[in-house]
Structure 1
């Protein structure tokens, strides 16, 4: 009997022009695509139509969040990934979809976040490997990069309290827990006033 080795599985894009398109997920350390249910909820929170939005998927991995935003009409999506195999998979998917609004950057997400023009993005997706130590630096960079009315999506293994978010000038707008995933839609504290 021959044992087959499968080094990929798939998730699917759930809305927009690329709806139902499968995304191959390669087997890489720390790569854990956002579950369908969580992505569906996130894009219900953000809205189905992202036309004109400028988005950044800081730890792109499978590209599930960035390609979902592109599928829903985002004007631009920057996807950052440092793993060579994951990056190559993102390139293949971008070509397959002819996703011209998607820019792929091979490199360190924290460096790229710091190099972003302040207040230049409508949403930053942060879904780093759960065992990483990048949380504070990623949140600081994302808070700086989004507009005053922009959003930061944070996916983590734990719930982030208002007190813990305060140093970044962020607050929770919506959150949910699905299995081991804590999903947070954050905004600047002043955006909630008025």
Structure 2
């Protein structure tokens, strides 16, 4: 990886590590601390954009009021991000227009800037007026909300309104869902272990 990519990649990781607080933050930071982030481990993920990334610039601008250092680092890494989607999702499964309003990118992970050792960290984009249906996975998961507000549900509970700056922590195998309102959602996410098992939708939810 050349310095034009390595520098922004390390910058965004360092600003997240410095700014992240709240439930689950300590576990994410502990796992991040043992990852190989050396130049020798760095990879070029290959820039890839999707329809949902049209929301990215707006979300980064909004997050500037909350975490200016992170927002600046995200703007610096924008052109290098490899955005993708869960191959098991479709508009038929998730609702009309969902796939044009959903994308995620890895910062640490196979399609990120560093491969990761049983650890993933990246960004989620979800457009306005969308429901990310109830799903679960083996991995413990953190979301750090950079925009919003947005609504979050755990297990069969009611949706709870969460504000920008909050973290949402999901223990292993806990089902959860996310709902956006009038604004798109940009969040930092991390899976801290057991990352080889994909997310699975809750049938009938």
Q: TM-score, normalised by structure 1?
A: 0.33
Bigger fraction of residues in strand: 1
Bigger fraction of residues in helix: 1
Q: TM-score, normalised by structure 2?
A: 0.31
RCO (CA 8 Å, sep 6+): is it higher in 1 or 2? 2
